[in-house]
Amino acid sequence: MTCLFTEEGFITARAQRRELTETFNVTVYGNASVIGAQNVALNPGENQTLTFVWDTTGWTKGNYSIIAVADIVPGETDKADNTYIEGTITVTIPGDFDGSFRVGPADFALLAVSYGSTPWQPGPVGDWNPNCDVDCSNKINSFDFAVLASHYGEHYP
């Protein structure tokens, strides 16, 4: 049997049967579209953390429910924990930190408050905001500001 859960945005698969090694696929969906899939082989009682990177280039802007599904393994009877619903992610314009589908003053304000922060250290003005970390560098810096500036005024649709 398998169990899916998340810890800090990563999906963890756990083998629940103690006597067999389990091999199965974990597929992550954005709504009904596949974001990615990975094959997992787990020894009894073992955990494995899976990382899925989602390149949203070409995806329609909007809100996506993120769902991870582990395949059913032979002999599995408890299938309730094979699906994990993570929540919703908004795919929008780079620099749209508030998810409004427009890049404007509210986004600038969010960036200004979190500028200089990291996940481990607040900035001079305010706390870390992962939405403002465009390049996933774990620091809100001039690169993130440049992205906001280059898209300022854009909106969708």
Q: What is residue 124's predicted lDDT score, i.e. its pLDDT?
A: 87
The predicted-structure confidence for 8-56, as pLDDT tens digits, reads as follows 455 566 655 557 788 889 899 999 999 889 998 888 777 788 888 788 8
pLDDT digits (tens, 9 = 90+) for 108-149: 999 999 999 998 998 888 888 989 998 888 899 999 999 999
Q: What is the pLDDT of residue 134?
A: 87
Q: How far is CA 80 from the centre of its chain?
A: 22
Per the prediction, the chain carries an average pLDDT of 85
Fold classification of 2-91 is Immunoglobulin-like (2.60.40)
In this prediction, residue 2 carries a pLDDT of: 39
Residues 6+ apart with CB under 8 A from 110: 97, 98, 129, 131, 132
Q: Supply 71's token pair.
A: 């395949």
Residue 4 pLDDT > 70, yes or no?
Answer: no
Band of pLDDT at residue 6, cut at 50, 70 and 90: very low
pTM for the full predicted model? 0.76
Residue 11 and residue 68 in contact, taking contact as beta carbons nearer than 8 Å? yes
The region that residue 113 occupies, defined by phi over 0 for left and psi between -120 and 50 for alpha, beta otherwise, is alpha
Distance, C-alpha 133 to centroid of its chain: 13
Report yes or no: 97 and 112 within 8 Å, Cβ to Cβ: no
Which tens digit of pLDDT belongs to each residue from 68-90? 898 988 888 888 888 888 888 88
Q: What does the pLDDT read at residue 15?
A: 57
In the chain, residues under CATH classification 2.60.40.10 are 2-91
